[in-house]
């Protein structure tokens, strides 16, 4: 039911992810999504949310860095992506072929103090709710 969950959170499918020639390969199918800032995103493989994240800057830059990190880990090179996580990506994508990337801009709220984007709070809430296997951001769960 994860694809249904992401749809309920008003996220839309914006790209695909595969392993091609041993590299973690992301292709955006929604060019407008590349410029989204202060947003949340999720990776879905076989109807399992494997990762939830956020990006303060342009989503395309965040995804490019993520593609490089996972690719380096898959190759056994130094990476911010832990090896155990790279093996989950390898296993899931080798078995299922293609994964999907969902995203949306963060929710804006207006208070007497001003307007705020809640993307980091939304990310934290979704991580707590879904506990994705490829999410190293669990330390954020402890912050208010």
**Domain coordinates of the chain in residue numbers?**
2-138
pLDDT in tens, the chain (144 residues): 799 999 999 999 999 999 999 999 999 999 899 999 999 999 999 999 999 999 999 999 999 999 999 999 999 999 999 999 999 999 999 999 999 999 999 999 999 999 999 999 999 999 999 999 998 765 545 444
CB atoms within 10 A of CB 84: 10
| pTM: predicted TM-score of the whole model, two decimal places | 0.92
> How far is Cα 53 from Cα 64, in angstroms, rounded to an integer?
14
CATH of 2-138, one of 3.40.630.30, 3.90.1150.10, 1.20.1260.10, 3.40.1440.40: 3.40.1440.40
State residue 139's pLDDT score.
Answer: 53
- d(CA 11, CA 33) in angstroms, rounded, equals 11
> Where is 28: in which H helix or E strand?
strand 23-28
pLDDT for 97: 96
Q: Measured in whole angstroms, how far is the alpha carbon of residue 88 from the centre of its chain?
A: 15
């Amino acid at each position: 039911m994860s694809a249904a969950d992401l749809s309920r959170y008003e996220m839309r499918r914006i790209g695909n992810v595969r392993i091609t020639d041993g590299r973690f390969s992301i292709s955006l199918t929604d060019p407008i999504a590349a410029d989204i800032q202060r947003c949340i995103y999720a990776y879905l493989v076989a109807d399992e949310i494997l990762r939830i994240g956020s990006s303060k800057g342009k989503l395309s830059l965040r995804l490019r860095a993520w593609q490089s990190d996972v690719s380096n880990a898959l190759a056994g090179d130094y990476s911010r992506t832990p090896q155990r996580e790279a093996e989950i990506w390898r296993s899931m994508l080798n078995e299922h072929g293609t994964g999907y990337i969902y995203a949306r801009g963060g929710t804006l709220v207006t208070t007497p103090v001003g307007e705020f984007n809640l993307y980091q709070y939304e990310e934290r809430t979704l991580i707590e709710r879904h506990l994705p296997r490829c999410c190293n951001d669990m330390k954020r769960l402890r912050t208010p």
